[in-house]
Amino acid sequence: MKQAISTSDAPKAIGPYSPAVRAGQMVFISGQVPIDPATGNLIDGDIAAQTRRVFDNLGALLKAAGLSYANVVRTTVFLADMNDFAAMNQTYATFFSEPYPARSTVQVSRLPKDARVEIDVIAIT
């Protein structure tokens, strides 16, 4: 059985998908880009600011699922420019402690709304 999870503290889905889904003891959070949920617009700022906004959105969805960053076991980071890796990684590190989640980071040719970063997560209850 699966259950959709959403919150007004994170952006609404911009397509036919759920912001997050609980399936058994796992929660899958769709890729989040740095959209301000209050305005629906991409935030201004450098990669660090965009990464923080992405984590604000992820955190809101984790909270709506009754979880925290401590429950995250896997992340995927999509960057528009791999030159942003170090700055993204510095901000990313502030949201997790050991044992860190498993992670993949890839450069992509383009992200929704021309964001510089998108991150999805898998968490366990």
In angstroms, rounded to a whole number, what is the distance separating the alpha carbons of residues 23 and 63? Answer: 16
What does the alpha-carbon distance between residue 65 and residue 61 come to, in Å, rounded to a whole number? 6
pLDDT of 77-114, one tens digit each? 999 999 999 999 999 999 999 999 999 999 999 999 99
- Give the bridge partners for 41, in sequence order: 36
Residue whose C-alpha is closest to residue 54's, from 69, 71, 70: 69
Q: Where exactly are the structural domains of the chain?
A: 2-124
pLDDT in tens, 16-74: 999 999 999 999 999 999 999 999 999 999 999 999 999 999 999 999 999 999 999 99
CATH number for the 2-124 domain, one of 3.30.1330.40, 1.10.287.130, 3.40.50.620, 3.40.190.10? 3.30.1330.40
**8-state DSSP, 65:** T
